[in-house]
Amino acid sequence: MKICVLVKEVPDAAVQKRIDPSTMRLDRGGEKNLNPFDTHALEAAMQIKEGGAIPVEEVVAVTMGPGSAVRALHKAVALGADRSVHLSDDALSGSDVCATGYSLAKVLESESPDLVLLGQQSDDGECYTIGAVVADHLQMPSLTQVIKIDVNDGKLRCERQAEYGYDTVEVELPAVISVGDAINEPRYPSLKAIMGAKKKPLDTKATGDVGIDDGMVGEAGSKTTVLALNPPPAKEAGEIIEDEDTNETVEKIVAWLDERKLI
């Protein structure tokens, strides 16, 4: 079977993120990284491939984004993907969740995967939703926030935490599964894999190559619009103690608790 893994380049967690006030969009300049949740999706793909319960011919990393997003694809192939696909087109700029999900579904459709894996959330704010949007467009079953995948008789047996405890769900292929960070411990790429990453095939596709209707994407095709940005309601800042002398720190904590009649 063929596994496609959706990956995304996000601002590095250590960098202060900001919104560009002129466009009301996230300023995507500065240091970038492969979304940490996506590394768990790649690892899950590699474990299915190496597990042998079902033959996997190919793991393909897929992303959507500007030219710089190829770096996320290089990291993805260094982590084990066989090749990568980059959907890149000026028409896509400013796409919201609805438009992004549609675009990703279109580029995935051109690959006809048996399984689509992705991280359940991205560091830059799109949480939990993209997998389910993509799945409905592809008319595939889907499950999000999965923390365990077993392959049995050509089906997936998935576990996740839902509202009332742990759910176990059997999912037929083809399917779209988003994973949480508890699913595995991603491997580190070898130096050889990093060096070889740029040699693996990378296809760049424009919207027209995968049948995307430009009217449904970008800012004009989006179904939400940011009307204003405001600071959050002010909250009185709490007191901060740096622990230098632990006995003194403990005394301060006990006094604080005592003052509030908590002990």
Interface with other proteins in residues 131-170 (CB under 8 A): 131-137, 139-145, 147, 157, 160-170
Q: Which two tokens stand for residue 72?
A: 């996320």
| Residue 31 touches other proteins, criterion: CB under 8 A | no
**SS3 assignment, position 80:** coil
Q: Are 175 and 140 in contact (CB under 8 A)?
A: yes
- Nearer residue to other proteins within complex by CB, 98 or 194: 98
- For 126-169, the DSSP string reads -BS-HHHHHHHHHT--EEEEEEEEEEETTEEEEEEEETTEEEEE
Using the contact rule CB under 8 A, the part of the chain among 47-55, 65-73, 203-211, 228-236 near other proteins is 228-236
| Residue 22 touches other proteins, criterion: CB under 8 A | no
Residues 173/178/180/181 CA torsion (nearest 10 deg)? 90
| Residue 17 touches other proteins, criterion: CB under 8 A | yes
| Residue 232 touches other proteins, criterion: CB under 8 A | yes
Q: Binding to other proteins (CB under 8 A): which residues in 43-72?
A: none
| Residue 227 touches other proteins, criterion: CB under 8 A | yes
User: How many Å apart are CA 78 and CA 139, to the nearest integer?
Assistant: 31
Q: Are 135 and 6 in contact (CB under 8 A)?
A: no
- Nearer residue to other proteins within complex by CB, 169 or 195: 169
Per-residue binding letters, 67-106, with other proteins (x by CB under 8 A): -----------------------------xxx--xx--x-
| Residue 4 touches other proteins, criterion: CB under 8 A | no
| Residue 254 touches other proteins, criterion: CB under 8 A | yes
Q: Is 185 exposed, middle or buried (0-12, 13-18, 19+ CB in 10 A)?
A: exposed
| Residue 258 touches other proteins, criterion: CB under 8 A | yes
| Residue 203 touches other proteins, criterion: CB under 8 A | no
Rg of the chain's alpha carbons, rounded to an integer?
Answer: 22
- Nearer residue to other proteins within complex by CB, 67 or 238: 238
| Residue 223 touches other proteins, criterion: CB under 8 A | yes
Peptide linkage before 174 cis (omega within 30 of 0): yes
| Residue 15 touches other proteins, criterion: CB under 8 A | no
Q: How far is the CB of 180 from other proteins (least distance, A)?
A: 7
* 130-138 vs 97-109: helix crossing angle, rounded to 10: 50
Q: Binding to other proteins (CB under 8 A): which residues in 107-136?
A: 125-136
Q: How far is the CB of 126 from other proteins (least distance, A)?
A: 8
